[in-house]
Chain A
């Protein structure tokens, strides 16, 4: 006799000044919701907390055999919306699915690191990879390319870059009992699932198109229109140049695409200005840009950003569902994952919780949701996973019921 076993998904957000107690309480809450300790846990925690305290709190409640990955964040997204200073956990019981936590250290050759990580996942290939790569010790764009060189571009990879409190100094990651401050951690899931995902920034151009005439290593923008990129950028900032470098968060770089006589700014490919090299007059971007790309400076009001959020959510809601799920909706368990850039929280200020409210208003509140504010996002767009920045990414993951 074949029996169907239900997938169970739970999320919990705990605010507590004691990180160990918060982590322990989060696992207790997941256990209460699931009726048993989760077999897979993904945790995101405030960068105010030490990863060690989080790990200790978790393993006080969780069997050692459980699969655990996690990272520090700028703010957390869970069942109670957007929170700071919290431990937010996702607990999964997916009978019939396999899960594997893996990690890698940072290094100079991000492509090679990604390739090596991908090689370890070839047999068998996962159906979903949740990836948390540290943008401070890795070039995430190249890490992703390395992974895709082995696993293909169409393997859905979701996730975000661990964050700190906006200092860009150090992040922390958890992979089982192991704690690391560089590299990446990932959770590979093996089993039948379908994904709808979207990424949208909401930014609009505030400059004329500028040709990237000199770029080094993919992300060091040396020249725009043949002039030093930094001075072009500062000129365009006008009087707000006095607020450098903090103001860069409000003015990321957009990529322009021209095809069939149409010109459009890609809403999902935005690059944040992570730093400047005054000596060389260069802008250091958070991710790579296409070679000889046509770029522009972007800006957004708070309402623009919220429109971007709505557009991304609308996009996944209007996406065609997997026919298997449509036939028997009860046979699938859904999870909404959100990876949202920390710059959006900074710009939205007191209105940052409105993004979560939009999510609540559009997606059934009973559907578990989990995510965090990142230093960079990973999400498929038109079936190809890309590295995003300054972007709201959302994905609906549907797990089919295992038999």
Chain B
């Protein structure tokens, strides 16, 4: 095969890409380069060198790009591994932290529960002031929970100490709601069922007004104005206490 027009001499061959250009030269059976008869112009030679240089540069850049990508891939693998290790470490830390926090919370709850029991015990103190006479000084709000605890403690104390009178001192109770007033009434009934008597003392006028306005009838309960009166009545039971 021979070139129609020698591509070493044809200026149009400059526009060929390097691959096509080289293929044309190597495929030519009568190429003056191979026959040693070439008379290539300086411009063509320099042009070819330029093209080869540019090609070598592109090749160099491509190789560099490939190495960059290989490196990036390797790095990514290492980074992912490091990242996984970090996540594992953080998970471990989180687990340990959660465990420690759980332990701390449990201990706090236990402490809180013990404190609550202590508070409840303090909230429902039962004092035996005389043989068969118990006094319950109540202070603060009487909520459902406290009233329940009060009932249980009082009834069990009445049984244990064989008491005949329970004095509920309400001097320190600022208000009573309908539920707590009714609860007081039920306590008095329960006390009576155990064969003892309940005596309310120290009701503030504000409490009495509230109870009355709520329509709760406590008039059937025995009352005294103050704890002093109540105690005096225990010591000198000159007259019988009203019954529930």
CB distance B60 to A16 under 8 Å?
A: no
> Which B residues lie at the A interface, using CB under 8 A?
57, 60-61, 64-65, 67-68, 70-72, 75-76, 79-80, 82-83, 86, 89, 93, 96-97, 100
Could you show 9 A-B contacts with beta carbons less than 8 Å apart? Answer: A15-B64, A16-B64, A25-B60, A25-B64, A29-B60, A29-B61, A84-B75, A239-B100, A350-B76
Evaluate contact between A28 and B60: CB separation under 8 angstroms.
yes
Beyond A239-B93, A242-B93, is A349–B82 a contact (Cβ under 8 Å)?
A: yes
A239–B97 touching, CB < 8 Å: yes
Contacts of B93 in A (CB 8 A): 239-240, 242-243
Distance between B121 CB and nearest chain A CB, rounded to angstroms: 37
Chain A residues within 8 Å of B100, by CB: 239
Q: Which of B57, B64, B82 contacts A14 (CB 8 A)?
A: B64
Using CB atoms, name the residue of chain A closest to B101.
A239
In the bound complex, residues from chain B placing their C-beta under 8 Å from that of A32 are: 57
A349 to B81 CA separation, bound complex (whole angstroms): 10
Q: How far is the CA of A28 from the CA of B60 in the complex (A)?
A: 10
Interface mask (A64-86 → B, CB under 8 Å = 1, otherwise 0)? 00000000000000001001111
Most buried by A among B70, B71, B83: B71
A238 / chain B contacts, CB cutoff of 8 Å:
97
**Given the complex of chains A and B, what is the CA–CA distance between A14 and B63 in angstroms?**
10
Interface residues of A (CB under 8 A from B): 13-16, 25, 28-29, 32, 80, 83-86, 238-240, 242-243, 349-350, 352
- Give complex CA distance A83, B64 in Å: 12
Cβ 8 A contact of A349, one of B72, B86, B89, B97: B86
What is the bound-complex CA distance between A349 and B75, given in angstroms? 10
CA distance in complex: A13, B67 (Å): 11
Bound complex: CA A239 to CA B97 (Å): 7
Q: How far is the CA of A85 from the CA of B72 in the complex (A)?
A: 10
Given A14-B64, A16-B64, A32-B57, A239:B96 Cβ within 8 A: yes
Whether the Cβ atoms of B83 and A349 lie closer than 8 Å is yes
Query: Separation in Å of the A351 CB from the closest CB of chain B?
Result: 9
| Interchain nearest-CB distance for A339 vs B (Å) | 21
Q: Which residues of B contact A83 (CB under 8 A)?
A: 68, 71-72
- Nearest first, the 8 closest Cβ-Cβ pairs linking A and B are A350-B79, A15-B67, A349-B83, A15-B68, A239-B97, A15-B71, A239-B93, A349-B79
Q: A25-B60, A350-B76 are in contact. List 14 more A-B contacts (CB 8 A).
A: A13-B68, A14-B64, A32-B57, A80-B68, A84-B75, A86-B68, A239-B93, A239-B100, A240-B93, A243-B93, A349-B82, A349-B83, A350-B80, A350-B83
Instruction: Give the residues in chain B near A243, CB-CB below 8 Å.
Output: 89, 93
A16 with B67: CB separation less than 8 A = yes
Q: With A and B bound together, what is the CA distance between A325 and B116 in angstroms?
A: 76
> How far does the alpha carbon of A398 sit from the alpha carbon of B58 in the complex, in Å?
30
Q: Which of B61, B75, B80, B96 has the most CB of A within 10 A?
A: B75
A15 to chain B: which residues have CB within 8 Å?
64, 67-68, 70-71
Q: Knowing A16-B64, A240-B93 touch, does A85 contact B71 (C-beta < 8 A)?
A: yes
Closest Cβ–Cβ distance, residue B86 to chain A (whole Å): 7
Q: How far is the CB of A100 from chain B (nearest CB, A)?
A: 31
Residues of B within 8 A of A350 (CB): 76, 79-80, 83
Docked Cα-Cα span, A243 to B57, in Å, equals: 48
Contacts of A80 in B (CB 8 A): 65, 68
In the complex, which residue of chain A has the Cβ closest to the Cβ of B66? A15
Given the complex of chains A and B, what is the CA–CA distance between A85 and B69 in angstroms?
12
Output the least CB separation between B75 and chain A (Å).
6
| Nearest-Cβ distance from residue A53 to partner chain B, whole angstroms | 17
Q: How far is the CA of A352 from the CA of B177 in the complex (A)?
A: 66
Tell me which of B60, B65, B96 has the highest count of chain A C-beta atoms within 10 A of its own C-beta.
Answer: B60
Contacts of A85 in B (CB 8 A): 71
Q: Which residues of A contact B76 (CB under 8 A)?
A: 350
Give the CA-CA distance A375 to B76 in the complex, in Å.
22
Residues of A within 8 A of B89 (CB): 243
A240 and B76 CA atoms in complex are apart in Å by 26
Q: Which residue of A lies closest to B70 (CB)?
A: A15
Query: What is the CA–CA distance of A83 and B79 in the complex, to the nearest angstrom?
Result: 13
The docked-state distance in angstroms from the alpha carbon of A242 to that of B94 is 12
Residues of B within 8 A of A13 (CB): 64, 68
| Set of chain A residues within 8 Å of B75, measured between Cβ atoms | 84
Set of chain A residues within 8 Å of B97, measured between Cβ atoms: 238-239
> Which residues of the other chain, A, contact B70 by a CB distance below 8 angstroms?
15
A13 to B65, CA, bound (A): 10
Which residues on the B side are within 8 Å of A349 (C-beta)? 79, 82-83, 86
| Chain B residues, CB < 8 A from A239 | 93, 96-97, 100
Minimum CB distance partner of B77 in chain A = A350
CB-CB under 8 A from B80, the residues of chain A are 350
A273 to chain B, nearest CB (A): 18
- Shortest distance from the beta carbon of A340 to any chain B beta carbon, whole Å: 16
The interface residues of chain B lying within 8 Å CB-to-CB of A352 are 79
Would you give the shortest CB distance from B61 to chain A, in whole angstroms?
8
By CB atoms of chain B within 10 A, which of A85, A86, A242, A350 has the most?
A350
- Provide the residues of chain B in CB contact with A240, threshold 8 Å: 93
Name which residue of chain A comes closest to B67, CB basis: A15
State the Cβ distance, A80 to closest chain B Cβ, in Å.
6
Give complex CA distance A16, B64 in Å.
7
**Which residues of chain B are near A16, meaning CB under 8 Å?**
64, 67
How far in angstroms is the closest Cβ of chain B from A260? 40
Contacts of B96 in A (CB 8 A): 239
Query: In the assembled complex, how far is the CB of residue B90 from the closest CB belonging to chain A, in whole angstroms?
Result: 9
In the complex, A15→B67 CA distance in Å?
6
Q: Chain B's nearest CB lies how many Å from the CB of A8?
A: 17
- Alpha-carbon gap, A29 to B58, bound state (A): 10
A15 to B65, CA, bound (A): 8
Across-interface contacts of B67 in A (CB, < 8 A)? 15-16
How close is B103's CB to chain A, nearest CB, in angstroms?
Answer: 13
